[in-house]
Amino acid sequence: MTARLRRIGLPYLLLLPALALELLIHLVPMAVGVAMSFKELTQFFIRDWNAAPWSGLANFRIAVDLDAPVGQALLRSFGVTCAFTVLAVGLSWLLGTVAAILMQDRFRGRGLLRTAFLVPYALPVYAAVITWSFMFQRDNGMVNHLLHDQLGLTADPPFWLIGDHSFAALVTVTVWRTFPFAFLILTAALQNVPRELYEAAAMDGAGIRQQIRRITLPSLRPVNQVLVLVLFLWTFNDFNTPYVLFGRSVPEAADLISVHIYQASFVTWNFGAGSAMSVLLLLFLLVVTAAYLLVTSRRERGPRKARGPRGRRPARV
Amino acid sequence: MAPPRSFLWTRRIVLTLLALFALTPVYVMITSSLKNLQDVQGAFRWLPDGLTIRPYLDIWHTVPLARYFLNSLIVAGCATVCSVTVAVLAAYAVSRYSFRGRRFFTVTVLSTQMFPGILFLLPLFLIFVNIGNSTGVALYGSRGGLILTYLTFSLPFAVWMLVGYFDSIPRELDEAATVDGCGPLGALWRVVVPAAVPGIVAVSVYAFMTAWGEVLFASVMTDDTTRTLAVGLQGYASQTDVHWNQVMAASLVVSVPVVAGFLLLQRYLVAGLTAGAVK
C-alpha cells in the first residue's frame, strides 16, 4: 500500500520544489501585478500597497487614452517596438541563415569562424553594449571615424545615441547580438540533414542554388518556426540593450516598450499605470503567440505526421 | 563534388564581412583598453600610439569592481545551481511519469518563459518592499532576493530544455536500473543524470550566462553593497568624465570568464540546444 502510494505521489514530490518556486516567482507576482493595475498605486502607497485605493479601469483608460500624453507616448513606444522587432528579427534571421548555410561544408578556418560568430552571443550584454555605445560616440567613436573620416559617407558626423539615428544604432547592436543565436541553432539543425540528399541532388544536376532552395531551406522549416518565435519574444521584450546603450535618457526613436514601462513606473513612481501597461503588453504577446502557433501548427499538420519513437513530441516553446 | 568558384568567392567575401561585423567591437574593446586617457578622448584611431596597462590597474579603484565581481559570481552561481537542481527533479517527473496535472504544469512553465521581465519586476519589487516592511526580512536589496528574481527566467528555460533532453534518453535505461534494484531516485541519479550531462552542462552555462548579463532586475533590486557587474559597470560611464579606456578594460575583464567558459563548453551547448529545440 505504501509502495503504491509512493509511486503515485512520487512525481508530485519531484515537482514540489519547482511548483513552490513557480508559485512564488510567477503565479503570485502575476496575480499581484494584475491587482496592482486596478489600484491607484502611486509613490505614497509603495510601502504598503494594500492601502492603495481601488481605481477600477482608470489606469487602463489612461494607458490607452490617445488624447493624453501618457497614451500617445505608449502608442508611439509600441510602434517603435514593432518596427524595431520586425527589422531586427528579420536581419538576425537572415544573417544567421546565410552564415549557417555557407558554413555547412567543411573548409579551412571553419572552426575559427564559428568561434568568431559566437563571441557576440557569449559576451555579457552590458560589457558588449557599453562597447557599442563607445563606438557610437559622436567625436571619439569608431563608427563616425569609419563612416565620416575614412569613407566620407556623411557630410557631418552624426549623433548616434540621440535623435532619429538612435533607431539604426539600436537595430545594429541588436542584430549583432542576436544573429549568432540564429546561426547556432540553424547550424545544429543543418547537422541533421543527410549528406546523401545533396549528393543525390547533385547527381540529378541540381546546382548549388537549387540544392539550397530544395533541400536546405525546407529542412530548416520546423526549426525556423521555433526560432522566429523565440527571436520575436526576446527582441520585443528586450530591455538590456536600449537601457545600456542609451542610459537613462532613451531617445524617442528608440524607446522600446520594456524601457518605456520601466521609466513610466520608476521615474514617475506610478506603479498602477505601469502595471496596466504590463498587463496590456502581456495580452498582446499572448494573442500574437497563440495566433502564430495556430498558423504554424496548422501548416505543419498537413503532409507531415507523427514524429518521434514515442509519438509524443516535447512541447514547443 | 567541388562547389563552383563563384560560390567559393561569395562564401569568402560574405563570411569575412560577417566576421568583421562580429569581431570589430571586440577589437575596439581590446585596443581601447590599452590606450591612454588622452588617446581615447581624442579622435578614434584603429592603431593605438602607445600601449599602457594603466587602465587595468585603475579599474579596481575607480569603482569597487572586485565587490561587484563577487556579487555577480554569488548571484549567478546560486541562481544556476538552484534552478538546475530543481529543474532536474521536475523534468524527470514530467519526462518519465504520467500524472494528473502534467500538461497544466508544462504549459504554465512554458508560457511563463515568454513573459517579459518587466512584467514580474513591478510586483516582485512591491512584494519585496512590503515583506521587508511587515516582517523585517530584507529581500529588496539583498542577494537572496536577486537570486529569487533570476529564477523567473532560468527555471522555466531549464525545465523546458531538460524535459527535451531527458525524453531523448531511452526509458529502457532507467527501467533496467529499477529492475536491478534502484529506486526511482537512484535511477535518476545513476542513469539519467550521467546520460544527460551534456544537457545539464548546456542548461547551466546558459543559466549562468543570462544571470551574469542581466541588467533589469539588477538595476532595481540591488543596493550599494549587493550591486552586480551589470549595474557597476555603468558607474564608469555615468561620471562627468568618462574614462573610456577603463570602461573597456573593465568590460574585457568581466567578459573573459564567461566567454572562455562558453567557448570551452560550446560543444555541449550546441548538443543541448539541439536536443531541446531542434527536434
Q: What is the mean pLDDT of residues A205-225?
A: 86
Q: What is the mean pLDDT of residues B38-60?
A: 89
Question: Dihedrals φ, ψ of B124, to 5°?
Answer: -60, -40
Residue in the structure block whose three cell numbers are 594603466 = B54
- Max mean pLDDT among A2-16, A222-236, A294-308 falls in A222-236
Q: What is the mean pLDDT of residues B157-182?
A: 85
**What is residue A102's predicted lDDT score, i.e. its pLDDT?**
93
Interface residue A145 vs chain B (CB under 8 A): yes
What residues in A contact B99, CB-CB < 8 Å? 8, 11-12
Q: Rounded mean pLDDT of chain A?
A: 86
Structure ipTM: 0.89
The per-residue b/e assignment along B117-135, b for 16 or more CB within 10 angstroms, e otherwise, is: bbbbbbbbbbbbbbebeee
**What is residue A183's predicted lDDT score, i.e. its pLDDT?**
94
By Cβ distance, the residue of A48, A140, A275 closest to B41 is: A140
**What is residue A5's predicted lDDT score, i.e. its pLDDT?**
63
Q: Tell me the pLDDT band of B275, cut-offs 50, 70 and 90.
A: low
**What is residue A317's predicted lDDT score, i.e. its pLDDT?**
36
Residue B164 and residue B276 in contact, taking contact as beta carbons nearer than 8 Å: yes
**What is residue A58's predicted lDDT score, i.e. its pLDDT?**
85
Angle at which helices B197-213 and B244-273 pack, to 10 degrees? 150
Q: What is the mean pLDDT of residues B19-27?
A: 96
By Cβ distance, the residue of B122, B234, B248 closest to A33 is: B122
Tell me the sheet residues that pair with A54: A39
Q: Is the pLDDT of residue B58 over 80?
A: yes
For A90-113, the DSSP string reads HHHHHHHHHHHHHTSS--TTHHHH
Domain ranges of chain A: 46-297
Rounded distance between C-alpha atoms, residue B76 and residue B53, angstroms: 29
Q: Tell me the pLDDT band of A213, cut-offs 50, 70 and 90.
A: confident
Among candidate residues B140, B277, B117, the one with its CA nearest the CA of residue B213? B117
User: Tens digits of per-residue pLDDT, B87-135?
Assistant: 999 999 999 888 888 888 888 888 887 788 888 998 999 889 888 888 8
| Inter-chain CB proximity B18 and A314 less than 8 Å | no
Interface test with A, best of B45, B102, B119, B206 (most A CBs within 10 A): B119
Residue B15 and residue A102 in contact, taking contact as beta carbons nearer than 8 Å: yes
Residue in the structure block whose three cell numbers are 531523448 = B168
**What is residue A50's predicted lDDT score, i.e. its pLDDT?**
75
Q: How distant, in Å, are the alpha carbons of A183, A184, A197 from that of A56?
A: 47, 47, 62
User: Tens digits of per-residue pLDDT, A56-67?
Assistant: 888 898 888 888
Q: Tell me the pLDDT band of A1, cut-offs 50, 70 and 90.
A: very low
| Inter-chain CB proximity A240 and B216 less than 8 Å | yes
What residues in A contact B121, CB-CB < 8 Å? 262
Q: How far is B183 from chain A (nearest CA, A)?
A: 10
Among candidate residues B211, B174, B202, the one with its CA nearest the CA of residue B262? B202
Residue B230 and residue B214 in contact, taking contact as beta carbons nearer than 8 Å: yes
CATH number given to A46-297:
1.10.3720.10
Q: Tell me the pLDDT band of B215, cut-offs 50, 70 and 90.
A: very high
Rounded distance between C-alpha atoms, residue B166 and residue B178, angstroms: 16
By Cβ distance, the residue of A14, A98, A271 closest to B122 is: A271
Residue B18 and residue A182 in contact, taking contact as beta carbons nearer than 8 Å: no
Q: Rounded mean pLDDT of chain B?
A: 87
On the 0-12 / 13-18 / 19+ scale of CB atoms within 10 A, A298 is exposed
Q: Which of residues 161-220 of A touch B (CB under 8 A)?
A: 176, 180, 184-185, 187-189, 191-192, 199, 202, 207-208
Q: How far is A19 from chain B (nearest CA, A)?
A: 8
User: Tens digits of per-residue pLDDT, B177-195?
Assistant: 888 888 878 888 888 899 8
| Inter-chain CB proximity B102 and A11 less than 8 Å | yes
User: Tens digits of per-residue pLDDT, A108-119?
Assistant: 889 899 999 999
DSSP 3-state assignment of B189? helix
Rounded distance between C-alpha atoms, residue A141 and residue A156, angstroms: 14
**What is residue A42's predicted lDDT score, i.e. its pLDDT?**
78
Q: Tell me the pLDDT band of B228, cut-offs 50, 70 and 90.
A: very high
